[in-house]
Amino acid sequence: METQTAAQQIGKRLGLALASIAMVAASMMGAVSPASAQTPAAAKAPTTAAAPATPTAAEESVRKRFIERFDGAEIDSVTHTPYGLYELRLGSQLIYTDEAVSYVLQGNLIDVATRRNVTKERIDALMAVRFKDLPLDLAIKQVRGNGARKVALFEDPNCGYCKQLRQSMEGVDNVTIYTFLYPILSEDSMTKAKNILCSATPGKVWDDWMLKGRTPARTAGCDTSPIDRTLTFGQSIQVRGTPTIIFSDDTRVGGAIPADQFKAKLDSLPKS
């Protein structure tokens, strides 16, 4: 009969503990979980509009050490947390380190006492955007039924996950959909976005392309500045991939979600 050494037993217990933490983290991610999103191959993390607080001397030291150890990594902010670690924000991602930058934690940090996913709560706060602050005049507006429920979508015309999302939205009624053309994947994405925007019926042409594969016809051109303004706004709120979904209750989801989750979320929205 084989027996485990003390080290093996400790390793096994540690593995089980990490697995338990991962399960708690997954359960804390919320009812709406993103499935997939497409991002440009060489996207640089945009900065947020809000100015960060002035870093302390210790936070600045951590920033410098991290950059030295990770070859000039671009760090948006460093924050000393109440639980002793330093939080480093790189775009929409958070990682943690100690003051000496001897260790780095990438993943969800869980408050054991409350079972709160501290990382998710912090990311949600950093990425928060109020639906009423969206520049809806730049979007393609489509009203189904009474249009009582509202959702905004940032989409690239060549995004496969966006097309999956659109398929899952078929048959959904009593909703107003604001589509922000967000061509970030290729030059062809921009060409298609401009042709869609400049068509006589942008909503129909968008649906024909996303749902039926009918290539948008070339147009004589029009004012396409709404696309540029949308890209600028999207960068300010860190829309780095498509689709990005923002519901009228300010909930934000990065990526396509299953049809049942999407419909359940719509059903939970206030009617207005």
* pLDDT computed for residue 52 by the predictor: 54
* pLDDT computed for residue 2 by the predictor: 27
Average predicted confidence (pLDDT) for the chain: 83
**3 state DSSP class of 248:** coil
* pLDDT computed for residue 42 by the predictor: 45
Better-scored residue on pLDDT, 244 or 44: 244
Q: What is the DSSP string of 191-245?
A: HHHHHHHTSS-HHHHHHHHHHH--PPPP------HHHHHHHHHHHHTT--SB-EE
User: Hey, what are 223's tokens?
Assistant: 């004012």
Better-scored residue on pLDDT, 249 or 8: 249
CB atoms within 10 A of CB 7: 8
Question: Where in the chain does DSSP place strands (E)?
Answer: 77-80, 86-90, 93-97, 104-106, 110-111, 116-117, 140-144, 149-155, 175-181, 244-247, 252-254
User: Hey, what are 139's tokens?
Assistant: 């979007």
**3 state DSSP class of 138:** helix
pTM over 0.75: no
Q: Distance between CA 214 and CA 261 in Å, rounded?
A: 28
- Of 263, 266, 184, nearest to 231 by C-alpha is 184
Cβ contact 267:32 at 8 Å: no
Out of 46-55, 141-150, 263-272, pick the least confident.
46-55
> Could you read off the pLDDT of 104-147 as tens digits, one per residue?
999 999 999 999 999 989 988 887 889 999 999 999 999 999 99
Distances (CA, A) of 213 to 163, 206, 209, 210: 10, 10, 4, 6
For residue 174, report the phi and psi dihedrals to the nearest 5 degrees: 55, 50
Cβ contact 192:209 at 8 Å: yes
Cβ contact 206:189 at 8 Å: no
Out of 25-29, 30-34, 210-214, the most confident range is 210-214
* pLDDT computed for residue 247 by the predictor: 95
What are the structural domains, with CATH classification, of the chain? Answer: 36-127 (3.10.450.70), 131-268 (3.40.30.10)
Write a three-state SS string for 166-179.
Answer: HHHCCCCCCEEEEE
> Could you read off the pLDDT of 146-155 as tens digits, one per residue?
999 999 999 9
% residues pLDDT > 70 (the chain): 82
For residue 160, report the phi and psi dihedrals to the nearest 5 degrees: -65, -40
Q: Distance between CA 191 and CA 93 in Å, rounded?
A: 31
